[in-house]
Structure 1
Amino acid sequence: MPWITGWFNGRPQFGVNFPVRRIQCITHRLCQFCRQPLGRRIGIVVRPADISAGYVDEPGMHPECLDYALAVCPMLNGAMDRYRSQPPAAVAHLVALQASRAGQPAEAYDAWFITPSGYEIAYGADGSVLGLSLDVPVLMKRPVRTAAQPRLTDEQAALLRQVLDLESSTEGPITP
């Protein structure tokens, strides 16, 4: 269980991070998964949106913890193809999902590995901790998952069947 995962009513709420623990990990160079000090190599999970922003908002991890997260996290291992439309009911009043991601297909994810000398905290104009800067030397980049393909709506599937003349076909229907 990642240390920064939010717990509410005795249950973990995956995809919801304790803000204080997130900032503690970033500022004290702790692994977000096991809470131990980061070592010689630091793994971070990076999306194209993070690259555009210039920082990643999640803390780093030990390479071993990152490998485990990649194996068990449904968003990272590809088992989930969309972001949640809404936060879990237990925490809806405590968190706000980024409107830009809610319900959207999952983005591509890469694992980047940096050294402690490349560990730079990104700060907002107000001095708040945004995350880890991505404008640093990278030892290695490894693709984690490709972006999920958008799903067809019922209307799009019907139009596709019509255009491809599949309505008269003996093959099965196209499902969105």
Structure 2
Amino acid sequence: MPQARRSRAVRPPARAAALPRHGGLTVPWITGWFDGRPYFGVNFPVRRVQCVVHRLCQFCRQPLGRRIGLVVRPADLAVGYVDEPGMHPACLDYAVAVCPMLNGTMDRYRAAPPAAVARLVALTASRAGLPAEAYDAWYITPSGYHVAYGPDGSVLGIRLDTPVLLKKPLRAAARPRLTEEHAARQRAVIDLEQLPARPEG
């Protein structure tokens, strides 16, 4: 698609210069590699926890600064935390420019990754094939950065009950696609509505 080709020309932040590249794109530090290739959108669980606990940018791995960008979905609001680590604003801008899920180019999550990958990232696998959700960018300060922990002490993510400097919509939720059965029913209803009315009497 033309939009995807244009996005490849976007320059990554200078702090990400040492990161590997694949297909013309800079690969975020948190991205999982399997069989010699990166699976964009699939995060290494250990690196995710390291980023959240040590306040590292998930994209470039460097310490977060005075402004921290979070990518927030309605599902995150429902549980009160975002499981994705924060990013520098410039790193988040680059991610939005090149990621088809964040910028709205893609309307569905991709099919489930290989079984070996899915075992490591159950959350990613659970969204496989579903319509894309709405995404917003939230910007917070270090004083509002608090880690969310589970009852067993596991690191869930970054809490969302915090003051927000700015909320910016990134993309709207994608409309669910009609199944063939639903499409056939819809066509039947339209056909019935277009039939001439029967004369009374």
TM-score computed with the length of structure 1 as normaliser? 0.89
Per-residue CA deviation, residues 94-128 of structure 1 (Å, 9 max, x unaligned), is 33246753322111000000000000000001111
Query: Within 2, Cα distance between the matches of 1:61 and 1:124?
Result: 22
Higher helix share: 2
Q: Which residue is equivalent to 2:59?
A: 33
More displaced, 41-50 or 85-94? 85-94
1:101 to 2:101 alignment: no
Q: Is the 8 A contact 2:113 2:125 kept in 1?
A: no
Q: Which residue is equivalent to 1:159?
A: 185
Query: Within 1, Cα distance between the matches of 2:190 and 2:41?
Result: 40
More displaced, 100-109 or 87-96? 87-96
Q: Is the 8 A contact 2:135 2:171 kept in 1?
A: yes
Give the structure with higher Rg (CA). Answer: 2
More displaced, 82-91 or 100-109? 82-91
Counterpart residue identity of residue 70, structure 1? V
More displaced, 93-102 or 125-134? 93-102
Change (3 A) 1:33 1:95: same
Aligned counterpart for 1:72 among listed residues 89, 94, 98: 98
Query: Within 1, Cα distance between the matches of 2:113 and 2:157?
Result: 21
Q: Which residue is equivalent to 1:141?
A: 167
Q: Which residue is equivalent to 1:172?
A: none
Counterpart residue identity of residue 6, structure 1? G
Per-residue CA deviation, residues 120-175 of structure 1 (Å, 9 max, x unaligned), is 00000111110000000000000000000000111111111111129x9xxxxxxx
Query: Within 1, Cα distance between the matches of 2:32 and 2:111?
Result: 18
- In structure 1, the residue corresponding to 2:103 is in which secondary structure? coil
Counterpart residue identity of residue 184, structure 2? A
Query: Within 1, Cα distance between the matches of 2:62 and 2:78?
Result: 29
Query: Within 2, Cα distance between the matches of 1:120 and 1:93?
Result: 28
Across the aligned residues of Structure 1 and Structure 2, the Cα RMSD in angstroms comes to 2.1
1:150 to 2:176 alignment: yes
Q: Is the 8 A contact 1:109 1:146 kept in 2?
A: yes
Identical pairs, percent: 78
Q: Is the 8 A contact 2:69 2:87 kept in 1?
A: yes
Change (3 A) 1:89 1:125: closer
Q: What is the number of equivalent residue pairs in this alignment?
A: 169
Contiguous gaps of at least 5 residues in structure 1: 169-176
Counterpart residue identity of residue 71, structure 2? V
Displacement after TM superposition at 1:85 (Å): 3.7
